[in-house]
Chains A and B, each alone.
Chain A
Amino acid sequence: MSTSTRMARRSGIRGGEAASGWLFTAPMIILLGMFLVIPVLMALWVSFSDWNGRGSPFSGSVSFVGFDNYSALVGGGGLAEQDFGTALRNNAWYVLLVVPIQTMLSLFLAVLVNRQILRGRGFFRTAFYFPSVTSSVAITVLWLFLFSSTGAVNKLLGFIGVNGPNWFNDPSGVLHNILGVFGVQNGPAALTGNTFLGISFWEWLAGPSVAMSAFILMAVFTTSGTFMLLFIAALQNLGGDVVEAAMMDGANGWQRFWRVTLPQLRPTLFTVLTLGLIGAWQVFDQIYTGTQGGPGKTTLTPAYLSYQTAFTNQAWGQGAAIAFILFVIIVVFTLFQRWLLAERAVSARRMRLYVQTPTPGGSK
């Protein structure tokens, strides 16, 4: 077959592909462009303007104010800075607790239900996954009931002689409470005297409030099922031969998990951590439904603060600025994860070491 006929046939099949290609992708391009790309650019302008919500943000009466909105948040010394610092503190504690706990719990659940010989495997998987399909609004309503002062959780705590707190109305920090048990009521002057983003270091170290702790438990409850499925899929893809080899070498179940299975799960572990981090920085629905930032602003999060600043207080520039700072925080965390992922080149070699060493031992 000569080149020219092949070309002709090719263009015959591919005829008009460019036009169809653009036509097929046009709805997606228009929708995502119109409701995602353009809006982000508009909001970027608003974050540098003094728009107050009246009229169009592009009208002549709206003026460019430079970094004013941003500087009010990170160094203004006013209420805006204090609220922003509080929101960051609250969400940082939330991330610090939710991400490791949900990752460990979902891995634990996956390992438990991944056994080949297990009665009711399907039932257990369904039970653990079900909370993930419900909406955050419905779960929050349920949580408000379970964790009310005379609710089921406090009843349960009462059975073991614990006087449960008034969960969603308790603004006290958990770490402060623990220190209080040891008689530490006030922090050292070095911590109380110096501030960062408008709140003192002692306040930064308060830990999540009791109210926030209830939300932390809720996040773990609703997300562990989803991540469990990711881990189950990864576990099923692992070849049995490596574990087998370790078994021949006499490694017990504990050693096999930590030294053989876990290193092989690294990619999934990173996926779960990244998704967890991104999700945990976006707490909004629960706060909107449940506490609106209270008690004592201890469940305020940057996402909710951004909404409240713009829609309730009509400080649109500042609200948009908070959203963009949050955006940067999430991107930085994601890039940090990517960077850690890149380290895998080294660990892959180490993993091969694990993979290879048992074999000579086994064939001895």
Chain B
Amino acid sequence: MSTTVRARVHPRTPSQRLRRLSRPQLPTSAIAGRSLLYAVLIVLAIIYIAPFLVQVATSFKTDAEAASNPMSLIPATWSSAAYERLFLNSDFPVWFKNSAIVTVFVTLGRVFFNSLAGYALARLHFRGRNLIFALLIAVMSVPGVVLLIPKFLVINQLGIYDTYVAMIVPLLTDAAGVFIMKNFFESIPASVEEQARIDGAGTFRVFWSIVLPMARPALVTIIILSFQGSWNELSHFIVATQSAELTTLTKGVASLASGQLSQGTQYPLKLAAAAIMTIPVAVMFFIFQKRIMNTTDGAVKE
């Protein structure tokens, strides 16, 4: 924007005069360029969206139609058989319930523990703070996939294998979240809390009723990341549980995808399950869309 404005203010530079001379050609080429840009964007958008439309359409088809006509976006005969089977004749509701329980607890836990630790690392002066922060950075660089066997070992050793405790407690805090909260607390002025302290409020009180309400933007980031992270988590639940009552959506749908390939393809059923498990994160995404699209720290997917 500013470039064009500036160019019009000084129309007499040599390059500008040259451009003036070639003006008559500009509109056609500009229109051509613009149309090309939109054409490329529209084609790309179709490529990105079409798979999901095909998914939803196929989930309402019969098995036979899903195989014979995999691309059509409108089923020839509408069938809700896949959804009926999922909700009435399968463990799907149990999976959904387990995912919901884990996600709620993990999100609450991370909001509280991450901000608590982030606040201490940003604002409280105590010996060992730098050491803790250095360890946090080191821990952040451990790739998650390497932790599969280690996590199982400790869960097994503690005797909590195959319980909700094993599913929830190890996820209650994450190094990256603490890091985000610490950075945020460092960015807000300390004067307000210092005033409260002079008035005699204790450290936790200052944190809880003064600092935390100011940290809403960062907390929203934590909520988005934790919700998405725990709802979509698979590997942790693979190593933490084995019983059918504790299966989450990710684990259940994965077993649906791999285990039942032999008994016919059942694509409508699988795609319906995958579509339903996408709805909560999609809703979350559309609620916080503005925030996700505008900031960088809220956007990094792990």
Contact = CB atoms under 8 A, between A and B. Distances in A.
Interface of A: 12-14, 16-18, 20-22, 24-25, 27-29, 31-32, 34-40, 42-43, 46, 56-57, 109, 112-113, 115-116, 118-119, 122-142, 144-146, 148, 150-152, 155-156, 221, 223, 225-226, 229-230, 233, 240, 243-244, 247-250, 275, 278, 281-282, 284-285, 288-290, 292, 303, 306-307, 310-311, 316, 319-320, 323-324, 326-327, 330-331, 334, 362, 364
Interface in B28-70: 37-38, 40-41, 44-45, 48-49, 51-52, 54-55, 58, 66-68, 70
Contacts of B203: 16-17, 20, 24
23 contacts: A17-B125, A20-B126, A21-B128, A27-B113, A28-B114, A29-B132, A31-B173, A35-B170, A39-B151, A40-B147, A42-B153, A128-B45, A134-B278, A135-B281, A137-B277, A148-B267, A152-B70, A226-B300, A244-B6, A248-B15, A285-B234, A323-B145, A323-B149
A310 B145 CA distance: 13
A36 B139 contact: yes
B229 to A, nearest CB: 10
A contact patch SS = helix
A27 B173 contact: yes
A133 B282 contact: yes
Contacts of B144: 282
B262 interface: no
Nearest to B207: A24
Contacts of A145: 55, 58, 66, 70, 267, 270-271
A42 B297 CA distance: 33
Given A129-B292, A145-B270, A323 B146 contact: yes
B277 A138 contact: yes
**Considering the complex of A and B, which 7 residue pairs feature the smallest CB-CB distances, nearest first?**
A39-B150, A21-B126, A24-B120, A135-B232, A35-B170, A28-B117, A43-B150
B149 A316 contact: yes
A42 B150 contact: yes
A240 B2 contact: yes
Nearest to B114: A28
A129 B301 CA distance: 11
Contact of A230 (B55, B128, B296): B296
Nearest to A281: B143
A128 B256 CA distance: 28
A323 B150 CA distance: 10
A150 B145 contact: no
Contacts of A229: 292-293, 296, 299
B274 A141 contact: yes
Contacts of B207: 24
Given A18-B125, A40-B146, A323-B145, 10 more contacts: A21-B120, A24-B120, A25-B120, A29-B132, A130-B52, A137-B254, A138-B274, A229-B296, A244-B2, A247-B3
B289 interface: yes
Contacts of B85: none
Interface residues of B, number: 107
A124 B41 contact: yes
A244 B114 CA distance: 43
Contacts of B169: 31, 35
B21 interface: no
B157 interface: yes
Given A112-B40, A247-B7, A126 B139 contact: no
Interface of B: 1-3, 6-7, 13-16, 18, 37-38, 40-41, 44-45, 48-49, 51-52, 54-55, 58, 66-68, 70-71, 113-114, 116-117, 119-121, 124-129, 132, 136, 139, 141-154, 157, 169-170, 172-173, 175, 178, 194, 197-198, 202-204, 207, 228, 231-232, 234-235, 238-239, 249-250, 253-254, 256-258, 265, 267, 270-271, 273-275, 277-278, 281-282, 284-285, 289, 292-293, 295-296, 299-301
Contacts of A35: 151, 154, 169-170
A138 B301 CA distance: 16
Nearest to A24: B120
B139 A32 contact: yes
B149 A132 contact: no
B1 A116 contact: yes
Contacts of A156: 71
B63 to A, nearest CB: 12
Contacts of A244: 2-3, 6
B141 A331 contact: yes
Contacts of A42: 150, 153-154, 157
A310 B153 CA distance: 11
Given A31-B113, A229-B293, A250 B274 contact: no
Contacts of B284: 133
Nearest to B153: A42
A327 B14 CA distance: 58
A133 B273 CA distance: 16
A144 to B, nearest CB: 6
A243 B3 CA distance: 8
Contacts of B41: 112-113, 124
Nearest to A115: B37
Given A40-B150, A43-B153, A145-B58, A20 B124 contact: yes
A39 B173 CA distance: 16
Nearest to B3: A244
Nearest to A126: B289
A345 B173 CA distance: 36
Contact of A135 (B125, B157, B202, B234): B234
